Amino acid sequence: MPIAVPRFGVHQQTTIPDVHVGDLSTLVIRPATVQDVHGMSALINHYASANVMLARGPQYLYLHIQDYMVATAPAAVGRHEVVVACGAVHVLWEDLAEIRSVAVHASCQGQGFGGRLVDALVDRCRQLGLPRVFVFTLAAPFFAQCGFGEFKREDMPPSVWVECSKCPKFYCCDEIGMIRML
Ligand SMILES: CC(C)(COP(=O)(O)OP(=O)(O)OC[C@H]1O[C@@H](n2cnc3c(N)ncnc32)[C@H](O)[C@@H]1OP(=O)(O)O)[C@@H](O)C(=O)NCCC(=O)NCCS
């Protein structure tokens, strides 16, 4: 059985394709599949290159694919689907999860879709039996609208610090910690 050879170079997506989205309410937010990883990577790393969210490499996305939810829409050119939104719930402990990688395609922003995506991630936390969920973000007003409030980092348990210590921003973090009780 041949192994899947990583696709570098010419196959790598560097831009996010334009999409045809008529009515955003028709878009379905669903669990991600491995087929979504290239699109998720393009969306996340597009914003990461503008320093508004953390970059995620393909290995990270494959390893954590079960954390992710996505929505797709038809490409403006061609017949393929484009990932227009993604976000993840990463469980850290019995009473705590982190929302990660929340991103919405520019042509779908400002119409409540980010809010719908966060609602879906919060519902996932409830289904998992979690009593609280937090996020580190530069988009604090957006998460405030989604029911999150600021917390002090010093109040967070060691499981959060373990995750933070893996982050390239560990010594110079500019993100705001926000939490929501469920
Ligand atoms: C943040 C993001 C997911 C919001 O998606 P969206 O579909 O535009 O969100 P909604 O339409 O549900 O809500 C928009 C509201 O959030 C606010 N908002 C959106 N992005 C914001 C940001 N970066 N900072 C502060 N507020 C923001 C808007 O002002 C808007 O408020 P209003 O309705 O009072 O005008 C989207 O802007 C995005 O993908 N940004 C780039 C990636 C990013 O910053 N992700 C967060 C990392 S954790």
Dump pLDDT digits (tens) for 127-172.
999 999 999 999 999 999 999 999 998 888 999 999 999 998 999 9
Q: Considering the domain boundaries, does residue 2 fall inside one?
A: no
| Spacing, Cα 7 to ligand 1 middle (Å) | 32
pLDDT computed for residue 51 by the predictor: 92
Number of structural domains the chain divides into = 1
Q: Considering the domain boundaries, does residue 124 fall inside one?
A: yes
Determine the length of the chain: 182
Q: Considering the domain boundaries, does residue 93 fall inside one?
A: yes
CATH code of the domain containing 150: 3.40.630.30
Mean pLDDT, range 108-127, rounded to an integer: 97
| Spacing, Cα 113 to ligand 1 middle (Å) | 9
Query: Is pLDDT above 60 for 7?
Result: no
Q: Considering the domain boundaries, does residue 4 fall inside one?
A: no
Atom 32 in ligand 1: residue holding the nearest Cα: 110
What is the domain extent for residue 90?
9-181
pLDDT computed for residue 10 by the predictor: 45
Q: Does residue 110 line the site of ligand 1, with CB under 6 A?
A: yes
| Spacing, Cα 28 to ligand 1 middle (Å) | 19
Q: Does residue 111 line the site of ligand 1, with CB under 6 A?
A: yes
Which residue would you say has higher pLDDT here, 56 or 2?
A: 56
Could you identify the atom of ligand 1 that is nearest to the CA of residue 175? Answer: 48
Q: Does residue 112 line the site of ligand 1, with CB under 6 A?
A: yes
| Spacing, Cα 158 to ligand 1 middle (Å) | 29
pLDDT computed for residue 154 by the predictor: 86
| Spacing, Cα 159 to ligand 1 middle (Å) | 27
pLDDT computed for residue 14 by the predictor: 54
Query: Is pLDDT above 90 for 22?
Result: no
Q: Considering the domain boundaries, does residue 3 fall inside one?
A: no
| Spacing, Cα 100 to ligand 1 middle (Å) | 14
Q: Does residue 109 line the site of ligand 1, with CB under 6 A?
A: yes
Q: Does residue 51 line the site of ligand 1, with CB under 6 A?
A: no
